[in-house]
Structure formats: C-alpha cells, structure tokens
C-alpha cells in the first residue's frame, strides 16, 4: 500500500532506578558476580545464524482498513515489519 508510512522502531533504553538507601556491600558483591556469570554464559552460547538476527523493526498504522466485504466497519490496523 503506497499510502502507508513506515516508522523505524528502536529498542528502548533500560532505565536504572537509583535506590533511596545504599545496598549492603555483600549484596553489591553478589550481584556483580552474578552479572559476570551471566555474561560468561551468554558468550558460551552459539550465536544465531544471520537469517535469524533482526536488523531493523518498522511499524505502520493503517486507518479505515477494509480488507474484505464481510467486515462492515473500517478497522484500525498496526502492521509490523522486521528485517
């Protein structure tokens, strides 16, 4: 459909929430070790084949969508496209 405008979507940035009270040193140390272990496990996993990696995500809205005659009301549609 030529009148559809596609918008490129970006991954939202994760926000880190600052704690109001300081964490005990033991918890900070344990969390750091846990994050290191998770990173090591992630590196050991085989990477995805190139055809399964999402490079770009796009979305478009389509108003007054009428695809088939049995639907008597126009629809609002959100279409997703991943490359």
- pLDDT tens sequence across 60-83: 888 877 777 787 888 888 888 877
Supply the pLDDT for residue 30. Answer: 96
Say how many residues make up the chain.
83
Domain positions in the chain are: 53-83
- For 11-49, how does the pLDDT look when each residue is reduced to its tens digit (9 = 90+)? 777 777 777 888 899 999 999 999 999 999 988 888 778
CB 6 within 8 A of CB 81: yes
What is the distance between the alpha carbons of residues 56 and 76, in angstroms, rounded to a whole number? 23
Q: Chain-wide mean pLDDT for the chain? A: 83
Q: What is the DSSP letter of 74?
A: -
Q: What is the pLDDT of residue 27?
A: 93
pLDDT band at 9 (very low <50, low <70, confident <90, very high): confident
């Amino acid at each position: 459909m030529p009148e559809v405008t596609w918008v490129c979507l970006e991954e939202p940035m994760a926000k880190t929430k600052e704690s109001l009270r300081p964490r005990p040193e033991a918890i900070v140390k344990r969390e750091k070790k846990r994050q290191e272990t998770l990173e090591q496990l992630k590196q050991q996993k085989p990477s995805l084949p190139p055809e399964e990696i999402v490079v770009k995500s796009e979305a478009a809205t389509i108003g007054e969508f009428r695809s088939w005659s049995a639907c008597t009301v126009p629809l609002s549609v959100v279409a997703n496209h991943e490359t």
